[in-house]
Amino acid sequence: KNEVEQSPQNLTAQEGEFITINCSYSVGISALHWLQQHPGGGIVSLFMLSSGKKKHGRLIATINIQEKHSSLHITASHPRDSAVYICAVTTPQGGSEKLVFGKGTKLTVNP
């Protein structure tokens, strides 16, 4: 079992819909990251959070430490939101830290 699981793997939505992407993890973490990978391949860091909720424009990221779960929400989705969204966790390991990635969720927003 992967330490970081994302669902769904693929998601298709119509423009304007509210979108939720989920991330569950099975290890203790010091931070959780959401990344966006554009169709051209570029990667952008969207959020880094260790508790509560963060908001940036139409994107909202939440985390529940007790349930080991995070969600990424996109309000009023737009075709330009089409991308792969990747969840990653920073987990303490032997005095250092390890970064573990989920496999990503491919989002397609149709006009």
Partner 1 sequence: DAGVIQSPRHEVTEMGQEVTLRCKPISGHNSLFWYRQTMMRGLELLIYFNNNVPIDDSGMPEDRFSAKMPNASFSTLKIQPSEPRDSAVYFCASSLEPSGVFSSYEQYFGPGTRLTVT
Kindly tell me which residue out of 58, 71, 101, 106 binds partner 1, with binding defined by CB under 8 A. 101
* Site membership for partner 1, residue 15 (CB under 8 A): no
* Site membership for partner 1, residue 11 (CB under 8 A): no
* Site membership for partner 1, residue 86 (CB under 8 A): yes
Exposure b/e, 15-51, CB count within 10 A at least 16 = b:
eeeebebebbbeeebebbbbbbeeeeeeeeebbeeee
Output 94 or 111, the one with its CB closest to partner 1: 94
Question: Cβ distance 72 to 83 under 8 Å?
Answer: no
10 Å CB burial of residue 105 (0-12, 13-18, 19+) is: buried
Separation between Cα atoms, residue 86 and residue 65, nearest integer Å: 18
Percentages of the chain per state (helix, strand, coil), in multiples of 5 = 5, 65, 35
Kindly tell me which residue out of 24, 59, 72, 104 binds partner 1, with binding defined by CB under 8 A. 104
User: Which window, 17-25, 51-59, 64-72, 92-100, contacts partner 1 (CB under 8 A)?
Assistant: 92-100
User: Using CB under 8 A, which residues numbered 23 to 62 contact partner 1?
Assistant: 30-31, 33, 41-45, 48, 50
Contact residues: partner 1, CB under 8 A: 30-31, 33, 41-45, 48, 50, 86, 88, 90, 96-99, 101-104
